[in-house]
């Protein structure tokens, strides 16, 4: 799923990335710019575009397996569990699609565009639509509860320790009980967020429009620290070891000490960094509005390699030693050892 796990850590500790001399293995053309991060499960890449479709692509060859055309387009990155792909649509539906055939299993109708990515925990899906966070039974597609956050949502929920954490685009960061949907606390310092929270070792990390990365105690909602960048933070943070990695619209990727909030390094690009980084095997992968995918040494902040596309690059995902990433140039790319 988006950000790899239901806590949105963005870190894949048990996998390896591609070598330093990575090249393009294949590219797959979509009908319009890629608008989601890919999900890779059992040899298939699932990815969507903003116009009409959800695609399933063979991860080894780049050949199309199927296309689901019933949606009006998606900005919601797909989540895959037990042979079902869950994806939100701009037509106000959350769809469950058979991962092997591309056939629709059910659709849950909401009151607005489903832009956040669904988070799967057990038999429950958590996903935002318009101003409501929904908890949905993923077998039947029926709602268990809903919570109004007071503004539209683009941030994808994180779930950890019996609580679901979610932010509104113009409101606050909320902690809700996973069973009942009851509010546990609210953190009011952020000025709204596109950034999805990451929850690691009892701390919630989230970026804000105000240009700050915040660390918040997951149990109490008390601020631990904040780190100021030079632009709005739409990127969702990734946490690996004792470091938080996050992009900023000030054209930079930052590494920040998870305990103190002090900057460890800064990597500058030629465009805004709205992409959410993925951390795998000591390397940070992140896309830029400058059309590049960057591989950066996680310890030093030095560039390992760069791959150029013809438009801004979405959030990457790494599986089986390959980086999969989409671009607004309408292509999904697979990068690795040839």
DSSP, res 201: T
Quickly count: other Cβ atoms within 10 Å of residue 86's Cβ.
28
Q: How do strand 84-88 and strand 93-98 relate by DSSP bridges? A: antiparallel
Does residue 68 contact residue 102 with C-beta atoms inside 8 Å? yes
DSSP, residue by residue, 86-126: EEE-TTSEEEEEETTT--EEEEEE-SS---SPPEEETTEEE
Helices (H) and strands (E) counted in the chain, each on its own, are 0, 33
| Residue among 320, 296, 284 at smallest CA distance from 11 | 284
| Residue among 154, 259, 167, 247 at smallest CA distance from 217 | 259
| CA 242 from centre of chain | 20
pLDDT in tens, 106-134: 999 999 889 999 999 999 999 999 899 99
Tens digit of each residue's pLDDT, the chain (338 residues)? 888 899 999 887 666 777 777 789 999 999 889 989 999 999 999 999 987 789 999 999 999 999 999 888 888 999 999 999 999 999 999 999 999 999 999 999 999 889 999 999 999 999 999 899 999 999 999 999 999 998 888 999 999 999 999 999 888 999 999 999 999 999 998 988 999 999 999 999 999 999 999 999 999 999 999 999 999 999 999 999 999 999 999 999 999 999 999 999 999 999 999 999 999 999 999 999 999 999 999 999 999 999 999 999 999 999 989 999 999 999 999 999 86
Which residues have a Cβ under 8 Å from the Cβ of 14 and sit 6 or more positions away? none
Q: Is the dihedral of CA 304, 307, 313, 315 positive or negative?
A: negative
Report in angstroms the alpha-carbon separations of 38 from 59, 135, 140.
Answer: 11, 23, 25
CA 257, CA 223: separation in Å to the nearest integer? 15
CA 132, CA 164: separation in Å to the nearest integer? 13
| Residue 168 Ramachandran class (φ > 0 left, ψ -120 to 50 alpha, else beta) | beta
């Amino acid at each position: 799923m988006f950000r790899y796990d239901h806590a949105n850590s963005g870190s894949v500790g048990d996998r390896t990335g591609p070598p330093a001399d990575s090249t393009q293995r294949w590219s797959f053309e979509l009908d319009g710019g890629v608008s989601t991060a890919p999900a890779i499960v059992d040899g298939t890449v699932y990815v969507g575009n903003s116009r009409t479709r959800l695609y399933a692509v063979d991860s080894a060859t780049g050949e199309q397996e199927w296309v689901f055309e019933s949606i009006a387009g998606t900005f919601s990155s797909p989540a895959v569990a037990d042979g079902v792909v869950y994806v939100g649509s701009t037509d106000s539906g959350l769809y469950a699609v058979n991962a092997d055939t591309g056939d629709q299993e059910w659709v849950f109708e909401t009151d607005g565009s489903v832009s956040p990515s669904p988070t799967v925990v057990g038999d429950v899906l958590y996903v935002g639509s318009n101003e409501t966070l929904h908890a949905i039974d993923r077998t039947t597609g029926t709602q268990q509860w809903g919570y109004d956050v007071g503004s539209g949502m683009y941030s994808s929920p994180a779930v950890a320790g019996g609580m679901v954490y979610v932010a509104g685009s113009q409101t606050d960061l909320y902690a809700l009980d996973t069973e009942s949907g009851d509010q546990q606390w609210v953190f009011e310092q952020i000025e709204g967020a596109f950034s999805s929270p990451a929850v690691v070792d009892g701390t919630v990390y989230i970026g804000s429009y105000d240009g700050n990365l915040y660390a918040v105690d997951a149990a109490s909602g008390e601020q631990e620290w904040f780190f100021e960048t030079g632009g709005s933070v739409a990127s969702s943070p990734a946490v690996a070891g004792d470091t938080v990695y996050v992009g900023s619209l000030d054209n930079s990727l930052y590494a920040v000490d998870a305990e103190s909030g002090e900057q460890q390094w800064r990597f500058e690009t030629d465009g805004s960094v709205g992409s959410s980084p993925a951390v795998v095997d000591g390397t940070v992968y992140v896309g830029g509005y400058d059309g590049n995918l960057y591989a950066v040494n996680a310890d030093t902040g030095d560039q390992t390699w760069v791959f150029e596309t013809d438009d801004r690059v979405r959030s990457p995902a790494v599986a089986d030693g390959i980086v999969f990433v989409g671009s607004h140039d309408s292509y999904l790319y697979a990068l690795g050892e040839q």
